[in-house]
Amino acid sequence: MAAGSSESYTVLKGKLENLPENVVIIGSHTQMDNRKEKSHPGGLLFTKFGSNQTALLDLAFPDNFGRLHDRSKEIPKAMKQLSRLFPNKVTIQLPQDEAVLSDWKLQLERDIETLKAQSNIVSIRSVLNRIGLDCPDLETLCVKDQALNTESVEKIVGWALSYQFMNHSEVSVKDAKLVISAESIMYGLNILQSIQNENKSLKKSLKDVVTENEFEKKLLADVIPPTDIGVSFDDIGALENVKDTLKELVMLPLQRPDLFCKGQLTKPCKGILLFGPPGTGKTMLAKAVATEAGANFINISMSSITSKWFGEGEKYVKAVFSLASKIAPSVVFVDEVDSMLGRRENPGEHEAMRKMKNEFMVNWDGLRTKDKERVLVLAATNRPFDLDEAVIRRLPRRLMVNLPDASNREKILRVILAKEELASDIELEAIANMTDGYSGSDLKNLCVTAAHCPIREILEKEKKEKNVALAENRPLPALYSSADVRPLKLEDFKYAHEQVCASVSSESTNMNELLQWNDLYGEGGSRKKNSLSYFM
C-alpha cells in the first residue's frame, strides 16, 4: 500500500470484499525500526480466507512489535489500514539459535540475489524487444550484485550492439529481430561495472571517512575532492618559476612519498605562502596544486571555523587538522590569511580570536604533529607584512606572485583566448605591450570587454533592420545566432583598453611594501636590512 494512500486502501478493500470464499491471498510486509536506518530481516504475512476470514503473520522482532502496539500513536497510517483489512495476526519470530539464524540470513541473501538476477533478465529482455533485438541465450547471464534500472540497461544494450557489429561479420535474424549473443550483453555489462567502480573509487575516500565529532562532520561537507576543482597548471599562463617550485615542494612529496623517506631534511614542507598584489593568480595556483597533486582541498575561512559559542572556534580549528590527517593527502588552503592569522599584539583584538590563532598554530606545528604526515597548509595574502611572526615561521617557503611582464602577459592572453575565434592579423604581442601594469585578472576583464564588441554590433544591426522593417511594414527579420558573431579584431582590444584600466598601481605604497617584504622574507630576497645609525 503506497504510504498509507486512501485510494489504494479503498481499492484493496473493495477487491477483498468481492473475492469468493475459496480464494487465499498471501502477502508480506517488512517492518522498519525507526531508530536504525535499516529493516529487520522479517516482515508481515497477510492472508485472507474467503470474504470474512483474514489473518496477519508478523515476521518481526517481538519486542519491537510489542512496543509498536503499546504506543499506538507511533503506528504509521499504512499499518493501521492494513490492520483494519487483516485484523487477525500471527507472529513468526526469527530463529533463536545462532547457527540456524545464520543459515536463515544466508538463505535470505541468496533469495535476494535470485530475485535481482531474474528482475535484470526481465529488464534486459524488455529493452531488447522494444528496439527489435533478440538474445536466445540471455538466461545464461546472472547479474545478482545490483538491480539494473532502465537507463543502465539501455546503455548495456547499446554497448552490446556495438560489440556485436565489431566482432561478428555475419548478421543473424530470427523472427524479424536482429540476434545478439549473451557475450555481447556481458561486454556491455562489464563496461557499465567498470564505470561504476571508477566513480565509486573517486568518492570512496570522502564517504568512508569516520568523523569523531560534529565539528569534523560539518567540515567534511566542505571538502572538495581533486576531481571537482577543475583547475590545472595549464589553465594558468606564465608564473613558470612559481609553478616549478610548487611542483617540487608540494606535488612530489604528495605523489612520491617514497622519495622523501631518507633522512630528516627531505620531509614534506608543512607550509607555503603565496603573496603578491591582487589578481595575480594566487588562488588559482592553490586550486591547481590540489588538482595536479590529487589531494583533497579544504578551503578554510572565518565563517567555517568561528562560532557564537565560547570555545567552539578552537574545536573547529582542531577538527580542521584532524580531518586533514584522515583524508591525506590534503591541502588546507587559507585565503586572505592576514585576516585570520594577523599580529597578536593588536589592542583591539578579541580574546576569543587570539585563542583561536594560538590553537591554529599549536595544531599546525605542535607536539602532536607528525613529520611524515601528508598535510600542507597553503596560504595566500595581499598583505604579508600584517602576519604574525609565528605564522611566518610556520610558512618556510614564501613565494611572491608578482605582476606579469610583457612576455608573461602574452602567455596569459594565449591561455585566456585559447577557445576564442581571433582575426588572422591579430598579434597578442601588441596587446601585451599596451597593457603594462595589468594583472592576470585585469587581462581577463580586458578580453571579456573586447569579446562583447562583436555582440554589440550584431544587436545594433538587428535594431536597425527591425526599425526599417517596421517603417516599410514588412515582416520582422530573423534574429542572428552565435554563428554570425565575427572574430575578434585588434580594434576590439584597443576599445577595451580604453574602458578597462589596471587595478593595481606599480608605484603604490602597498606595492612598495610587498617588494620590501619580499626582499626580507621571500624566496630569493636580498635579506638586506637598512642599517640604523645611533647618535650618542
Mean pLDDT of all residues in 175-189: 84
From 165-179, 205-219, 277-291, the region with the lowest mean pLDDT: 205-219
Instruction: HSE, CB side, 13 Å, CA atoms: give it for residue 332.
Output: 31
CA distances from 283 to 35, 109, 125, 255 (A): 44, 51, 52, 21
Tally of CB atoms within 10 A around 112: 12
Instruction: Tell me the pLDDT band of 417, cut-offs 50, 70 and 90.
Output: very high
Mean pLDDT of all residues in 274-299: 86
Instruction: Tell me the pLDDT band of 528, cut-offs 50, 70 and 90.
Output: low
Q: Check residues 423 and 83 and name the one with the higher pLDDT.
A: 423
Instruction: Tell me the pLDDT band of 371, cut-offs 50, 70 and 90.
Output: low
Q: pLDDT by residue (tens digit) across 466-500?
A: 999 999 898 888 888 888 899 999 999 999 999 99
Most confident of 177-186, 219-228, 452-461: 452-461
- pTM of this prediction? 0.59
> What local confidence, expressed as pLDDT, does residue 496 receive?
93
Instruction: Tell me the pLDDT band of 172, cut-offs 50, 70 and 90.
Output: confident
> What local confidence, expressed as pLDDT, does residue 49 receive?
47
Contact 379, 250 (CB under 8 A): no
> What local confidence, expressed as pLDDT, does residue 369 receive?
60
Cα 117 to Cα 140: distance, rounded to the nearest angstrom: 11
Model confidence at 442: pLDDT above 80: yes
Long-range residue pairs from 202-205, CB within 8 A, at least 24 positions apart, any chain? 202/227, 205/296, 205/327
> What local confidence, expressed as pLDDT, does residue 29 receive?
65
Percent of the chain with pLDDT over 70: 83
**Mean model confidence pLDDT for the chain:** 79
Q: What is the DSSP letter of 485?
A: P
Instruction: Tell me the pLDDT band of 131, cut-offs 50, 70 and 90.
Output: confident
Model confidence at 146: pLDDT above 60: yes
Cα 383 to Cα 393: distance, rounded to the nearest angstrom: 16
> What local confidence, expressed as pLDDT, does residue 462 receive?
92
Instruction: Tell me the pLDDT band of 353, cut-offs 50, 70 and 90.
Output: confident
Model confidence at 456: pLDDT above 90: yes
Q: pLDDT by residue (tens digit) across 7-51?
A: 777 887 887 777 777 777 776 666 544 433 334 444 444 444 444
DSSP letter string, 201-245? HHHHHHHT---SSHHHHHHHTT-B-GGGT---GGGS-S-HHHHHH
> What local confidence, expressed as pLDDT, does residue 372 receive?
62
Burial 304-334 (b: 16+ CB within 10 A, else e): ebbeeeeebbbbbbbbbbbbbbbbbbbbbbb
> What local confidence, expressed as pLDDT, does residue 200 receive?
57
> What local confidence, expressed as pLDDT, does residue 74 receive?
52
Q: pLDDT by residue (tens digit) across 233-270?
A: 888 888 888 888 888 887 777 677 777 777 777 777 78
CB-based burial label for 157 (10 Å; 0-12, 13-18, 19+)? buried
Q: Check residues 256 and 317 and name the one with the higher pLDDT.
A: 317
Reading the block at residue 40, the C-alpha cell is: 529487520
Mean pLDDT of all residues in 307-321: 83
Instruction: Tell me the pLDDT band of 315, cut-offs 50, 70 and 90.
Output: confident
Q: pLDDT by residue (tens digit) across 101-130?
A: 888 888 888 888 888 888 888 888 888 888
Query: Could you give the angle at which helices 440-471 and 490-499 cross, rounded to 10 degrees?
Result: 110
Q: Check residues 218 and 470 and name the one with the higher pLDDT.
A: 470
Q: Check residues 140 and 88 and name the one with the higher pLDDT.
A: 140
Cα 120 to Cα 125: distance, rounded to the nearest angstrom: 8
